[in-house]
Each structure stands twice: as C-alpha cells, then as structure tokens.
C-alpha cells in the first residue's frame, strides 16, 4: 500500500507526536497545535486515506486496512511515538494502539467514542437518524452537506472554528467522495469496545462540554473502559476544543505529554 501524505515539523527533543484528523478534514487543522509543539517534539501530521493530499486506495477500504496504511506511513519515520487522534482519527488511533501496540507510547483522544451510534447497551451514542440524514445529504448534496457538518461541529466560539476549518479545506483540499462514504460507514457499523482492554498505554481523553456530535458521556465511558486513562472535559468547547479553546487544550495536553 502506498504511503499517506504527511508533513514533519520540529526537532524531536521530547519525542515524536503523530496527529490524525477527523472526518472530511485534512492535516491543516493541526497548524496551530504544530506551531506550539514543534519546538519540543517532532510532529508528524498525516492526511487520512482519501483526505487532503492522500490518495484513496479502493483495495484498502476496511478500518484495519486504513489503520495499516497509517502504520506503513510511520514505519520509515519513527519507531516509538505518542499518537493523537481527533474524532474519526481517534478511532484509527484506537485501532493502531490495540492491534499494533509496539510503537505507541501514549495515546491522546479528542472527541472520540468507541461506538458512534446509540444502542440499547450504549445510551451515550449519537441517535441513528442524525447519521442517516448526513448519509442521505452527502449523496444528494455533496459539498453542501460537508459544509453544514462543519458548522455543526464548530459550536463554541463558532466563527473562529468555522473559519479555521474552511481555511484548511480551501488551502489543502477536501476529501474524496469514496473516503467520506467509507468514514460514515465506519461510524455506522463500528464498535471498538471489545478492543479497549488491549490498549495498555496511558491515555488522555479530552471532550468538549458542548459537543453534540460525540457527546461527553461517550468520551467519559471510553475513558472508564480503558485500563489506564484520564478524562478531561473542556468547559464551553464543542467538537474541536483544540481550535476553540487552544490555551486550555494545550495545557492539558502538555501536562499529559510531560508526565
């Protein structure tokens, strides 16, 4: 499988830090965080399969295959790293930490849930009609559906967050339709709860108090199910606390990275 598009910044004096973004976005969403962390860490930001400047491989559509593409991208660059994933990128990070734990030293998960949809044994999930509407609109309206999704996740200092997300798409490119569809299928069908006991590294779980895409209760339940996890909730933040509340977010992340 071909390597994914990635960018490397920083000296790496305090180790390597890998960043995985969320659905429909690209690595430009991390620019502010990269500037803050690069003086101490070697930061590796990756475009997920079919997002930004990474190609979409129709032979690698399963969650396991996509996680393997991330692993193959990192293999020539680093042997031990901290892995930070946001939203859909957080699910990929969980996949990697459970299936290929040798390289992962620590895990930071932002707005991440092991199971996206609500179910009788998972009350903190997102109601199924919300995802069904997004799938329908993606097929019928394309980019407009993505734009409305960005507005939904930009609650909490919405103007600032929305501007940064749109700038990332404008300067670095959006996601392929196949990648968008595959990402929504993963959210519809995925359930990582059985894999959580295999994640043996220290984990920081960060949620936004006002997140309506992945509710804080889901992130709390994720932290409770992991063997070694610490949960933090950012007051006033929604789905992208690293963009809406960068000072509070960075304080929590730095405390975890230097612990």
Q: Using the Cα atoms of residue 170, residue 172, residue 174 and residue 180 in order, give the sign of their dihedral.
A: negative
Q: Is 87 a catalytic residue?
A: yes
* Choice among 21, 239, 244, 245 that is catalytic: 239
Q: Using the Cα atoms of residue 42, residue 162, residue 178 and residue 188 in order, give the sign of their dihedral.
A: positive
Q: How far is CA 8 from CA 27, 46, 82, 96, 143, in A?
A: 11, 9, 14, 20, 29
* Choice among 9, 47, 54, 87 that is catalytic: 87
Contact 213, 239 (CB under 8 A): yes
Contacts of 217-225 spanning 24+ positions with Cβ under 8 A: 217/123, 217/124, 218/113, 218/114, 218/115, 218/124, 218/125, 219/109, 219/111, 219/112, 219/113, 220/124, 221/113, 221/114, 221/124, 222/109, 222/112, 222/113, 222/114, 222/196, 225/114, 225/193, 225/196, 225/197
Q: Is 239 a catalytic residue?
A: yes
Q: Is 228 a catalytic residue?
A: no
- What is the set of active-site residues? 87, 211, 239
């Amino acid at each position: 499988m071909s390597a994914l598009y990635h960018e490397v910044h920083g000296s790496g004096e305090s180790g390597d830090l890998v960043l995985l973004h969320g659905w429909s976005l690209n690595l430009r969403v991390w620019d502010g965080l990269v500037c803050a962390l690069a003086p101490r860490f070697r930061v590796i930001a990756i475009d997920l399969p079919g997002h930004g400047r990474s190609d979409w491989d129709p032979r690698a559509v399963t969650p396991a295959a996509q996680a393997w593409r991330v692993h193959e991208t990192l293999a020539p660059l680093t042997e031990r790293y901290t892995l930070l994933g946001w939203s859909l990128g957080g699910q990929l990070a969980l996949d990697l930490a459970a299936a290929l734990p040798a390289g992962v030293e620590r895990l930071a998960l932002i707005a991440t849930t092991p199971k996206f949809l609500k179910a009788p044994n998972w009350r903190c999930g997102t109601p199924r009609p919300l995802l069904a509407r997004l799938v329908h609109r993606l097929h019928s309206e394309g980019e407009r559906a993505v734009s409305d999704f960005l507005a939904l996740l930009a609650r909490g200092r919405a103007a600032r967050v929305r501007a940064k997300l749109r700038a990332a798409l404008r300067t670095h490119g959006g996601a392929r339709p196949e990648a968008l569809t595959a990402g929504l299928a993963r959210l519809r069908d995925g359930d990582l709860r059985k894999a959580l006991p295999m994640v043996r590294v220290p984990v920081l779980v960060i949620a936004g108090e006002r997140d309506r895409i992945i509710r804080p209760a889901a992130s709390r339940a994720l932290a409770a199910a992991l063997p070694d996890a610490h949960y933090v909730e950012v007051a006033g933040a929604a789905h992208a606390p690293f963009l809406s509340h960068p000072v509070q977010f960075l304080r929590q992340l730095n405390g975890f990275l230097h612990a």
